[in-house]
Structure 1
Amino acid sequence: QAHFLSHSLQAKMSRPVQARRLEGIDKNIWVEFVKLAATYSKVNLGQGFPDFPAPDFLTEAFTRALGGGNHMLHQYTRAFGHPPLVKVLAQFFEKLLGRDLDPMTNVMVTVGAYQALFCCFQALVDEGDEVIIIEPFFDCYEPMVKMAGGTPVFVPLRPNPPKDGKLMSSADWQLDPTELASKFSERTKAIVLNSPNNPLGKVFSRGELGLIAELCVKHDVLCISDEVYEWLVYDGKQHIRIGT
């Protein structure tokens, strides 16, 4: 069987194919490390690999949904989230946040946290807006801000040496209040908060969250709070949601 390509498909474009907004963000650390680990048959310590199965009630419900006779379960539903699902989520997070939530306007279901973050940056960040990112940070924040036309502004968590011979922990990494305040300007649109933090594992204290909240209110700035690890808290630590 013969196959034909038009001349236009065979020729290479004379101008750049990639959009300018992607310049400088074409490298991905996860892609590189996964490839290296596979190439040299090494253990990849850079990613989390769950060593526990999904709960039985979850797998059983999933199996019932796939194998049941109700074909209406597999149709298009509301784009922002299936109505029964967002209603349950609203009830659940109302208790956690201590505030009333409208399931139709305050809750949105996305394909994972990546899409949630991407939608936030695309919907809220304009060309030239600044977004404060706390270092160290999960690698997707910076390129997502740039793709939205924003400018990342970085502020580091700095380690305080532990006292009395104690081992250093993630709690010893803290923001300098003066340094953080200096990053806010009239161009600041948002700050990204990740607690518990990836990669440090730091759980931000109530005092630290209060500082961030005060600066956001003072400068009329949004806080995009990534709490993807909210249920993985250990050693007596308490995850406090800044939305409370």
Structure 2
Amino acid sequence: MSLRIVLFLAALAMIAAGASLLTQSAAMPEWTDEAKAQAVQMWDPPEEETGPAADAYNRHWVKAIKKLRTDKWPYHDAGMALIMFAASLVAGVLMLKINTMADVAALKTQGHAISIYGVGIAGWFLYWVSAILALLQGVNRSEFPPWFSSQITMIVMIACFAAVGAMILGTLAFLVLRKAPLPVSLWIWRKDMPGHDWFYTIGAGLALLIGLEVLRETYCYGHWLAIPAVFLCVYATLATRAAGIAKSA
């Protein structure tokens, strides 16, 4: 049985499990007690908009509303995360033309630096778009107090952070990819220059740890749309590492 078939079967199992969770979620009510939930949402706002007293009041509201929630949204988010992961896995296998383990070992970067650069930027902005959508989703699920009016500010902050982050990461990637001898093996390791190898490998490893944290967020915060962004960023990170090592020659 080829690796592609194994991965496709795993993806099919994830889709089936995700669909089962979505079905269970759809049958669940959102609240354990609808009347009490509405009563909490009708609380008067704090006397002060900001400050320790307001923060304590908001935390008390969040704690009260959480006690009334069912497992509807956790089931939904877990199901969507499984389906999105499976779809991203299948897309990656098809796009990289993976059939066997030998194909994985033979993976190379794209032939042009601009292509790697584009994949990374696309993944970065897709992640922050998903962050904004997750924030709006939280509003629809009453995860914030009704008087909480900072959503627009948070969206603007997310957009600004995405732009600044793109400029910083884009500049670093440009410096690494510039004049790199592409394409090159995705798993390149130069025994004659181990210092350069470890430098780029450790940098890529730190970036991949951030990707794992994002995957954790997909369940904790309903951030499942970020999964394809993680796939794109992982490939761009590995390709940039390979280009950096090849360039150091």
Q: TM-score, normalised by structure 2?
A: 0.23
Q: Point out the structure with the larger strand share.
A: 1
| Structure with more contact order per residue of length (Cα contacts < 8 Å, sep ≥ 6) | 2
